Amino acid sequence: MFLLFALAAPAAALINSTGSVLTPENGTISINGGEAANPSAFTANITINLQQYWDLFVGPVATATINTTVAATPVPTSELVPPPPLYYSSFPTGAQNPTVLKNESWKFPSGFFWGVASAAYQIEGAAQAEGRGPSVWDVFTHRSTSITVNNDTGDVGCNEYYMYKQDIARIAALGVPYYSFSISWSRVFPYGKGPVNELALQHYDDLIETCLQYGVKPVVTLFHWDLPLFLQNEYGGWLSEEIVGDFVAYAKVVFGRYGNKVSHWFTMNEPIVFCDEYPYPKNYFSAVTIAEADQKYFCGHHVLLAHAEAYRLGKSLGLNGTIAFKNNGGYKIPLTNSTDDALAVQRAWDFNEGWFANPVYLNGDYPKYLKDYVSTLGLEFTADQKALINGTADLFAHDAYTSSFYMAPDGGVAACLANSSNSLYPGCFNTTNVNPDGWNIGPAADIYTPWLNQATDWVPLFLRYIQDTWPSAGGIAVSEFGWAEPFEHLKTTKVDILYDPGRMMYYKNYMEAILIAISEGVNVVGCLAWAIMDNLEWADGYLPKFGVQYVNLTTFERSYKASFFTYIDAFKVYAEDPVVPVYV
């Protein structure tokens, strides 16, 4: 069915895991030639289909016992009973004891968009179903030696590809009005470009239609890290400017198909993260010639161009949903009041949020300290490119899980800048989650998420900082936030797993922090809890749990955790729009 490459054949190299070079041409992958004097140059003509492409680069892929779409069954009413109170809630609803009165100065204004979030590779499973092509993450989970805890993969995962009707029914039953998910690029284009896979589009048609039937508004991310492998093989993926055209062609198909059914579009998820780590798996894609430490900046450069062009395309198509990208990071608190720490903090903003936010929200160009460095790599935007990028977001979407202290490197910023072999070069800032007094910034999450502490006290200041630094007419959406409950993977009974006090506190405190920010004049317009359910936490496998629902990875049964009710209660008490459970 999807056997042939229908590519206008550039003579580009495809590198497989053993370093053989293949070239796609007119429906085949072939290179002719070689020299007797150079045996390693001998090559062969081969024609491969999609399955063989999988076999060559990924290897055997597991399948689930459930492998056709499951119809939704109504959620049993017994599952809709909230947990007993954990604390004197500021969200006094349901079974909870209303000893705390509603704070009348708090509200989520009408139109506030809130819901739960996921990403394709983390939940879908069905890795080879209906013509999906491999992504770099299939290679990473199957072939990398540094890989995932327990050799976990996304082959089967939560099996959401077949369970989505039930998933939507379950969030609708609690009155969740928005569901944020990502589309798998390599389902739509098995090779990232070229032939379009109609079966994949039909799948997402039904996912989106099911959301709408249940009154759940779809929020769609185009790229959540699962780059089609072919594009990595052919030209180095995000390291090449060639990706811009391919990303925009993908965006065009998705925008064209789902057009005005989507209320909020995100082009990219967390480019700071996927560019920083790019390309996964490290040292695997031997075609890359850019120095490893600098690859992230080339990736980021092309992300900005691809995002901007996709935004312009979406606007030219007249989409009525908002378009933005998801930035990420935490508030950066100076560890001390020294001038060097203040400088390090500014450098940290410039090398993190500012990397993508300054070009899009301020002036089309990199922030100063980052620009000083990337201009030495030849990464400068032309005047036309700056004009293209500037203003390409309808709101500021931020994945804001936690906050950290920032400080100058040992020996100071200047000494670091003068020494390119310093491990903190070129950013030349350092960070910690430990206060100067020796205490953690807040309680630690799971041992597999050492980056995550409950630091919600800093959220109002952070949101204020974003609004002041990168003003956006459409306001700020906290596009991901969430908590990995400590040691949850060690719990052995379902009732223990479902009662998650750390996550309950996180959501209570986080929602209060957003309410405080709003009451103080910060234009927060929405928030999306990560995650709709436990899922593949990338290289950490299935050990850290971020879900507000538990998933039994054998039966695929889903169950609400107590924290899901805490989250909903915030809106029952403080949202001007009623929370309307849709119970079918």
Q: Using CB under 6 A as the criterion, what x/- string covers residues 388-417 for binding ligand GBH? A: -----------x-x----------------
Name the minimum Å distance from CB 543 to ligand GBH. 12
For ligand GBH, the closer CB: 2 or 265: 265
Distance in angstroms (rounded) separating the CA atoms of residues 411 and 394:
42
CA 523 vs. chain centroid, Å, equals: 23
To the nearest 10°, report the CA torsion of 210, 213, 215, 221: 30
Catalytic residue, from 353, 480, 488, 537: name it.
480
Mask of contacts with ligand GBH, 521-550, x by CB under 6 A? ---------x------x--------x----
Q: CA dihedral in degrees (199, 541, 164, 559; nearest 10)? A: 170
Beta carbon of residue 135, minimum distance to ligand GBH (angstroms, whole number): 14
For ligand GBH, the closer of residues 96 and 454 by Cβ is 454
Polymer length of the chain: 584
Yes or no: say if 503 and 550 are a contact pair by the CB < 8 Å rule: no
Residues in region 71-130 near ligand GBH by CB under 6 A: 119, 122
Q: Which stretch binds ligand GBH (CB under 6 A): 16-24, 267-275, 348-356, 419-427?
A: 267-275
Whether 292 sits among the annotated catalytic residues: the reply is no
**Taking the complex as a whole, how short is the minimal distance between the CB of residue 561 and ligand GBH, in angstroms?**
16
**Per CB under 6 A, does 160 bind ligand GBH?**
no
270, 309, 353, 537: the active-site residue: 270
Whether 576 is a known active-site residue: answer: no
> Of all residues in this chain, which one has the CB nearest to ligand GBH in the complex?
451
Using the rule CB under 6 A, is 273 a contact of ligand GBH? yes
236: exposed, middle or buried (Cβ count in 10 Å: 0-12, 13-18, 19+) = buried
Among the listed ranges 67-75, 193-201, 269-277, 354-362, the one in contact with ligand GBH (CB under 6 A) is 269-277
Q: How far is the CB of 179 from ligand GBH (least distance, A)?
A: 15
- Distance between CA atoms of residues 179 and 177, nearest Å: 7
Distance CA 161, CA 535 (A): 13
> How many CA atoms within 13 Å lie on the side-chain side of 279?
28
Q: Rounded distance, CA 315 to CA 248, Å? A: 13
Query: Measured from the CB atom, is 15 or 268 closer to ligand GBH?
Result: 268
Q: Which of residues 423-452 bind ligand GBH (CB under 6 A)?
A: 450-451
3-state secondary structure 16-41: CCCCCEECEECCEEECCCCECCEHHH
CA distance 377 to 373: 7
Nearer to ligand GBH, 133 or 271 (CB): 271
Out of 25, 226, 270, 534, the only residue in the binding site for ligand GBH (CB under 6 A) is 270
Q: Which of 328, 403, 454, 472 binds ligand GBH (CB under 6 A)?
A: 328
State in angstroms the smallest separation of the CB of 76 from ligand GBH.
29
Residues 394, 398, 400, CA angle at the centre, nearest 5°?
165
Which DSSP letter does residue 358 get?
A: I
What b/e readout covers 421-456, taking b as 16+ CB neighbours within 10 angstroms? ebebebbbbbbebeeeeeeebbebbbebbeebbbbb
Name which of 529, 534, 530 is nearest 554 in CA terms: 534
**Contacts (CB under 6 A) with ligand GBH, residues 459-518:** 480
197 touching ligand GBH, by CB under 6 A:
no
Catalytic positions are 270, 480
List residues binding ligand GBH (CB under 6 A).
119, 122, 269-270, 273, 328, 399, 401, 450-451, 480, 530, 537, 546
